[in-house]
Amino acid sequence: MFYGAVVWDPWLIVAQIVCLQCLYYITLGLLLSILVGTRVSRMSLVYFFDYVAITTSTVTGWCVIASFLLSSVAGSIYMFYLIERSRKCLDFSATLYIVHLFICIVYGGWPSSITWWIVNGSGIAVMALLGERLCMKRELQEISLTRFRSNV
Protein backbone atom coordinates (compact mmCIF):
# COMPACT_ATOMS: atom_id res chain seq x y z
CA MET A 1 0.00 0.00 0.00
CA PHE A 2 1.28 3.43 -0.86
CA TYR A 3 1.56 6.10 1.80
CA GLY A 4 -1.41 8.43 1.66
CA ALA A 5 -3.88 5.83 0.42
CA VAL A 6 -5.73 6.24 3.72
CA VAL A 7 -5.75 9.97 4.31
CA TRP A 8 -6.53 10.13 8.01
CA ASP A 9 -7.10 7.16 10.29
CA PRO A 10 -7.69 8.34 13.87
CA TRP A 11 -7.74 4.80 15.29
CA LEU A 12 -4.31 4.11 13.85
CA ILE A 13 -2.96 7.35 15.33
CA VAL A 14 -4.42 6.57 18.77
CA ALA A 15 -3.04 3.03 18.61
CA GLN A 16 0.41 4.36 17.68
CA ILE A 17 0.32 6.87 20.56
CA VAL A 18 -0.73 4.21 23.09
CA CYS A 19 1.84 1.73 21.80
CA LEU A 20 4.65 4.31 21.84
CA GLN A 21 3.70 5.45 25.36
CA CYS A 22 3.62 1.88 26.67
CA LEU A 23 6.95 0.98 25.08
CA TYR A 24 8.50 4.17 26.46
CA TYR A 25 7.39 3.41 30.03
CA ILE A 26 8.40 -0.26 29.77
CA THR A 27 11.87 0.82 28.64
CA LEU A 28 12.06 3.50 31.31
CA GLY A 29 11.05 0.93 33.93
CA LEU A 30 13.71 -1.50 32.79
CA LEU A 31 16.40 1.17 32.76
CA LEU A 32 15.34 2.54 36.14
CA SER A 33 15.37 -0.95 37.65
CA ILE A 34 18.87 -1.57 36.28
CA LEU A 35 20.42 1.82 37.05
CA VAL A 36 18.44 2.98 40.08
CA GLY A 37 17.09 -0.28 41.51
CA THR A 38 20.57 -1.41 42.46
CA ARG A 39 21.13 1.80 44.44
CA VAL A 40 17.88 2.12 46.41
CA SER A 41 16.18 -0.23 48.84
CA ARG A 42 12.72 0.08 47.26
CA MET A 43 11.66 1.13 43.76
CA SER A 44 8.51 3.19 43.43
CA LEU A 45 6.67 5.42 40.99
CA VAL A 46 8.50 8.40 42.48
CA TYR A 47 11.37 7.78 40.08
CA PHE A 48 8.96 7.77 37.13
CA PHE A 49 6.69 10.70 37.86
CA ASP A 50 7.99 12.88 40.71
CA TYR A 51 10.17 15.79 39.67
CA VAL A 52 12.11 15.60 42.96
CA ALA A 53 13.80 12.35 41.85
CA ILE A 54 15.48 14.07 38.90
CA THR A 55 18.38 15.83 40.58
CA THR A 56 22.05 16.39 39.92
CA SER A 57 23.05 16.41 43.59
CA THR A 58 23.15 12.62 44.05
CA VAL A 59 24.44 9.65 42.09
CA THR A 60 20.94 8.16 42.15
CA GLY A 61 19.63 11.35 40.56
CA TRP A 62 22.20 11.06 37.78
CA CYS A 63 21.10 7.46 37.23
CA VAL A 64 17.49 8.65 36.91
CA ILE A 65 18.60 11.29 34.40
CA ALA A 66 20.52 8.68 32.39
CA SER A 67 17.46 6.41 32.41
CA PHE A 68 15.25 9.17 31.01
CA LEU A 69 17.72 10.11 28.29
CA LEU A 70 18.35 6.49 27.27
CA SER A 71 14.59 5.94 27.16
CA SER A 72 14.26 8.82 24.71
CA VAL A 73 16.88 7.17 22.48
CA ALA A 74 14.90 3.93 22.66
CA GLY A 75 11.73 5.92 21.90
CA SER A 76 13.26 7.19 18.69
CA ILE A 77 13.99 3.61 17.65
CA TYR A 78 10.39 2.67 18.45
CA MET A 79 9.21 5.56 16.26
CA PHE A 80 11.39 4.25 13.45
CA TYR A 81 9.38 1.02 13.47
CA LEU A 82 5.94 2.29 14.54
CA ILE A 83 5.56 5.69 12.92
CA GLU A 84 7.83 5.30 9.88
CA ARG A 85 7.42 8.92 8.75
CA SER A 86 9.98 11.59 9.59
CA ARG A 87 7.46 14.42 9.48
CA LYS A 88 5.37 12.79 12.22
CA CYS A 89 8.22 12.22 14.70
CA LEU A 90 8.01 15.63 16.36
CA ASP A 91 4.24 15.28 16.78
CA PHE A 92 4.48 11.87 18.41
CA SER A 93 7.43 12.91 20.60
CA ALA A 94 5.58 16.00 21.80
CA THR A 95 2.45 13.96 22.48
CA LEU A 96 4.42 11.43 24.52
CA TYR A 97 6.04 14.12 26.66
CA ILE A 98 2.79 16.11 27.07
CA VAL A 99 1.09 12.96 28.37
CA HIS A 100 4.10 12.39 30.65
CA LEU A 101 3.84 15.99 31.92
CA PHE A 102 0.14 15.50 32.65
CA ILE A 103 0.82 12.29 34.58
CA CYS A 104 3.62 14.02 36.52
CA ILE A 105 1.29 16.90 37.43
CA VAL A 106 -1.37 14.47 38.67
CA TYR A 107 1.18 12.40 40.61
CA GLY A 108 3.44 14.99 42.21
CA GLY A 109 2.25 18.47 41.27
CA TRP A 110 3.67 21.00 38.85
CA PRO A 111 7.37 20.24 38.18
CA SER A 112 9.17 23.22 39.69
CA SER A 113 12.68 21.84 39.26
CA ILE A 114 14.70 23.31 36.41
CA THR A 115 16.53 19.98 36.15
CA TRP A 116 13.25 18.21 35.36
CA TRP A 117 12.52 20.65 32.54
CA ILE A 118 16.05 20.39 31.11
CA VAL A 119 16.02 16.58 31.18
CA ASN A 120 12.58 16.30 29.60
CA GLY A 121 13.32 19.05 27.08
CA SER A 122 16.50 17.24 26.11
CA GLY A 123 14.55 13.99 25.95
CA ILE A 124 11.96 15.34 23.55
CA ALA A 125 14.71 16.87 21.39
CA VAL A 126 16.69 13.62 21.28
CA MET A 127 13.61 11.53 20.55
CA ALA A 128 12.29 13.83 17.83
CA LEU A 129 15.60 14.55 16.08
CA LEU A 130 16.98 11.02 16.23
CA GLY A 131 13.60 9.59 15.21
CA GLU A 132 13.43 11.99 12.26
CA ARG A 133 16.98 11.10 11.27
CA LEU A 134 16.29 7.37 11.37
CA CYS A 135 13.02 7.67 9.46
CA MET A 136 14.52 10.05 6.92
CA LYS A 137 17.38 7.65 6.30
CA ARG A 138 14.85 4.95 5.42
CA GLU A 139 12.73 7.30 3.30
CA LEU A 140 15.74 8.33 1.23
CA GLN A 141 16.83 4.81 0.38
CA GLU A 142 16.66 3.90 -3.26
CA ILE A 143 13.87 1.63 -4.34
CA SER A 144 15.41 -1.34 -6.03
CA LEU A 145 13.72 -2.31 -9.25
CA THR A 146 15.29 -5.61 -10.12
CA ARG A 147 14.07 -7.41 -13.15
CA PHE A 148 14.27 -11.09 -13.52
CA ARG A 149 14.94 -12.11 -17.08
CA SER A 150 14.84 -15.64 -18.22
CA ASN A 151 17.76 -16.82 -20.29
CA VAL A 152 16.02 -17.79 -23.52
Is position 90 within any domain?
Answer: yes
Domain count, the chain: 1
Is position 143 within any domain?
Answer: no
Q: Which pLDDT does position 2 carry in this prediction?
A: 46
DSSP 120-135: HHHHHHHHHHHHHHHH
Q: Look up the domain containing 89 and give its range.
A: 17-132
Q: Which pLDDT does position 4 carry in this prediction?
A: 55
Is position 49 within any domain?
Answer: yes
Is position 96 within any domain?
Answer: yes
Is position 63 within any domain?
Answer: yes
Is position 85 within any domain?
Answer: yes
pLDDT exceeding 90 applies to what percent of the chain? 84
Alpha-helical runs (H) found in the chain: 10-35, 46-49, 59-82, 89-108, 114-139
Summarised one tens digit per residue, pLDDT across range 3-56 is 555 577 899 999 999 999 999 999 999 999 999 999 999 999 999 999 999 999
